[in-house]
Structure 1
């Protein structure tokens, strides 16, 4: 990605997380914010040492590591020339305003493509830019509900539980990156950019394809089933020794004889999946009795050794301490101007010939104003001073 210029008008998680992947692989990313309307993630816990400061949010740092920040008041008329110069500089631009807002600000695709015909503009929103509900703004919680995740998560005799957090914000980045790569390849062939209209809700629907397809083709509506899985039995979370300690077990048909042997159900080793489901309570009780005698790490290792898929159920601290994640250097400390260093996630993938590099944490608000204006756009000191005097850089 070295040499790729990305201009970001995106907030929170979905698109910033995707753009961070580009930065990890060498793209130069300029994130535009303003002091009066910073990225919402700057205001979100956790803060290092509980210091509630816009440059001290760990979440902001995770999704914006490796980027540069320019503070630009888009309400000031003098900012327009700066934005258009950034558009000329950029190969890719992203925005996640409510549908139509970027157009009303004077930066719709018809405008920016006239300034830079090679620009790829990605607009990310809850439901897309067209349709009767396109004007509805919202977060990933809402998209998860609309897409059906809430209806499917939970227990059959209870109301919908929903996945943790703004779930679709964590699904969309993969589609964002793939869409941008496809658009850049098309630009390489044709010399022209394009406008990508990304619906976060439609992105999420792809992750529920079996349920959606079954409803569309067979008229069957998937039901909440707790931790069960229609293709595996037993499949669930079982208690282990210790305080609130659990182990997850997913037993495919070929694993059942091994699991039966481990938990003392040798006489049932020949049961089919249908037969196991008929005796599900008996089998679950036997598995729970066995796992309760072991810590979750030990239980998982013993089951894995027998050929059964199992892993400890980690809490947040467990993820930080997980030896597999530690081995892969997933959690790292990087330079960051406000704190000196800050904890963040490493890149999620490692390519043998093009290793990623996280060279800095999330930028402080506006800390790269001079570099962006001077080095990237070629503004001289007087012009930058005029912008500062007009309170555009704030």
Structure 2
């Protein structure tokens, strides 16, 4: 069975901000070469996660080429790889290739059929283009960081360099669109991916709140300040509940029916007319009273049981899982979501395609003489 992108050659240069884009191409069968400096060399301004597990995840199915120590030989080797690449993914500052010894004016970059994808913190031009950045800085400057955590504490950074992964997704899509155009016209394109802008599109409904209500959304910690929405305790941890808002309005009714069936003390109180008023449900009294009633219902029920039953009743309740919970998930096991390699466990295929399946090959290292 032929992999979907087996005809493509991708070269990845720079740091980890575009690494997931290259991984997605590798997963669909493209030959991905990752050019890196030898251990004795370094370039300022590149964000590379030293964790071997992270590296193993990001660079699986790629061929890592360790460039020569000598700067002239290094540039020569890199130019030879660019000459045969369909897609060049440059990750890091806009001048990342110049830091590897290749100026932006070099004719190899003008090859008519080359798709040149450039992932940078703030885009290729502008007053901040060359500012140093990290995942933390991009998450903060795009507003993503402000939504994480509790309102009375410092913001909480999401794990896993999320700004780089978001930028990589845009890079993968943009590169693929450029390849489809090249297949028609024979002409490659430059894809400019600004990580800050990529993150700004992932702010939940913050943009809509500001546009429609002129309200700046802030982090809310455990959830909305409203009875029926937020984090609640159960027998073996916590669940997130969201009933009564917008499309979950029927969930409020379904939850009340469930509480009645289980003869939960105080459940009948939730059917009083004032509980249909969102303003009332946002009051401290309503939030406290709902929590008392729901906690009594959930305290002897495991989160997995609550989740499964809620799904059957069309109620938005989900477990707050630990990594161990996810590894033991029946659904994820049935989907072969995780793969094992040596002592590490990685996330496997992000999607399933019947005719062009995901490719998972061991990583390979080569040393340029």
Q: Which TM class, normalised by the smaller chain length? A: 0.7 to 0.9
**What is the aligned partner in structure 1 of residue 302 from structure 2?**
295
Counterpart of 2:130 (choices 130, 135, 156) is 135
**What is the aligned partner in structure 2 of residue 347 from structure 1?**
349
Cα 1:238–1:112, aligned 2, differ >3 Å: closer, same or farther?
A: farther
SS at match of 1:368: strand
**What is the aligned partner in structure 2 of residue 24 from structure 1?**
27
Counterpart of 1:327 (choices 327, 334, 337) is 334
**What is the aligned partner in structure 2 of residue 7 from structure 1?**
11
8 Å Cα contact 2:75/2:102 also seen in 1: no
8 Å Cα contact 2:223/2:231 also seen in 1: no
Deviation at 1:74, TM superposition (A): 6.5
8 Å Cα contact 1:233/1:273 also seen in 2: no
**What is the aligned partner in structure 2 of residue 254 from structure 1?**
250
SS at match of 2:106: helix
8 Å Cα contact 1:87/1:116 also seen in 2: no
Relative to the length of structure 2, the TM-score reads: 0.85
Counterpart of 1:149 (choices 144, 150, 160) is 144
State the alpha-carbon separation in 2 of the partners of residues 212 and 329 from structure 1: 36
SS at match of 2:138: helix
**What is the aligned partner in structure 2 of residue 391 from structure 1?**
none
State the alpha-carbon separation in 2 of the partners of residues 65 and 94 from structure 1: 16
**What is the aligned partner in structure 1 of residue 228 from structure 2?**
234
Most deviating of 292-301 and 152-161: 152-161
Aligned length: 346
Residues 180-203 of structure 1, C-alpha deviations (whole Å, 9 max, x = no match): 111112222321212222111110
SS at match of 2:201: helix
SS at match of 1:207: coil
Counterpart of 1:276 (choices 271, 276, 281) is 281
Deviation at 1:276, TM superposition (A): 3.0
2:95 paired with 1:100: yes
RMSD: 2.6
State the alpha-carbon separation in 1 of the partners of residues 339 and 8 from structure 2: 25
Residues 214-241 of structure 1, C-alpha deviations (whole Å, 9 max, x = no match): 43565421122223349x8622221111
State the alpha-carbon separation in 1 of the partners of residues 167 and 92 from structure 2: 16
SS at match of 1:31: strand
For structure 1, the 5+ residue unaligned runs are 45-56, 370-386, 389-394
Deviation at 1:286, TM superposition (A): 1.6
8 Å Cα contact 1:84/1:112 also seen in 2: no
State the alpha-carbon separation in 2 of the partners of residues 191 and 107 from structure 1: 25
8 Å Cα contact 1:155/1:225 also seen in 2: yes
SS at match of 2:205: helix
Alignment of structure 1 residues 375-394 onto 2, 5 Å: 388=369
